[in-house]
Structure 1
């Protein structure tokens, strides 16, 4: 299975990031699944993450699940140049990266909006 990003399908910011990634990814490099979808729920359960908050982005790659900033940074490796260069931020320890991620994730609806549930 190709690397799969599980994202909050109701989050305006998250959907914008998905569009950004789709426009810049290497052909067929990533697939995207909303966490709230039946397929998203199935993938989360299979990864042992069924109870995970939708505020956490997940990258499923090579049988592993990467969360928060690690997921975002690893996804950048699947984009066309120059975006993979940003993967160097993985050298910053997660205890410094993830609080920034968590701040944005916690405020994403307030700052960017929420899509209506269908």
Structure 2
């Protein structure tokens, strides 16, 4: 994807261990710096969730906002991977092949159980100095 596009924004649960792992993965693999991040606990994240009809107090919410619109659940994950390009784009095509209702049920199952399986952090992710420009509310 071209750097001329405005960065896409990902709103994620900042106290979720799995979600933080996902963001760390993206920080490592997003060489085009396509994605910016906001925790759902921040003012920016809460505002974006509410603006797109999602409950800011529902920790299962995951939102991607890009130049084409707003995306949630499994579809958001697939679009994020596609935005990374290369073999991640091919992986996203596999996710897109799964029927949406089934993919969203699987996403919701993981979202409902992730705290129990992997735990929670006491505080939201604190970006390093090199990463702070990637976060809306560092």
TM-score if structure 2 supplies the norm length? Answer: 0.77
Q: 1:102 to 1:26 in 2, by over 3 A?
A: same
The within-5 A match list for 1:16-27 is 16-27=21-32
The correspondence for 1:105, drawn from 68, 87, 111, is 111
> Displacement, 1:28?
1.6
Aligned partner (choices 69, 93, 96) of residue 102 of structure 2: 96
Q: Is the 8 A contact 2:8 2:36 kept in 1?
A: yes
**2:46 touches 2:56 (CA, 8 Å); kept in 1?**
no
- TM-fit CA distance, 1:62: 2.0
Report how far residue 80 of structure 1 moved. Answer: 4.3
CA contact (8 A) 1:3 1:62 kept: yes
Deviations 1:33-83 (A, max 9, x none): 101101101212222334562212111112521110001110001214211
Per the TM alignment, residue 96 of structure 1 is displaced from its structure 2 partner at its CA by 1.1
Residues 69-100 of structure 1: CA deviation (Å, up to 9, x unaligned): 00111000121421111111212211111111
Q: What TM-score, normalized by structure 1, do the two folds share?
A: 0.89
User: What are structure 2's unaligned runs of at least 5 residues?
Assistant: 1-5, 125-138
Structure 1: unaligned runs, 5 residues or longer = none
Q: Match for residue 57 of structure 1?
A: 62
What corresponds to 2:77 in structure 1?
A: 72
Aligned positions, number: 118
Contact 2:14 2:123 in 1 (8 A): no
Q: Which 4+ stretches in 1 moved above 2 angstroms?
A: 45-52
Residue matched to 2:52: 47
For residues 37 and 51 of structure 1, the distance between their equivalents in structure 2, rounded to whole angstroms, comes to: 10
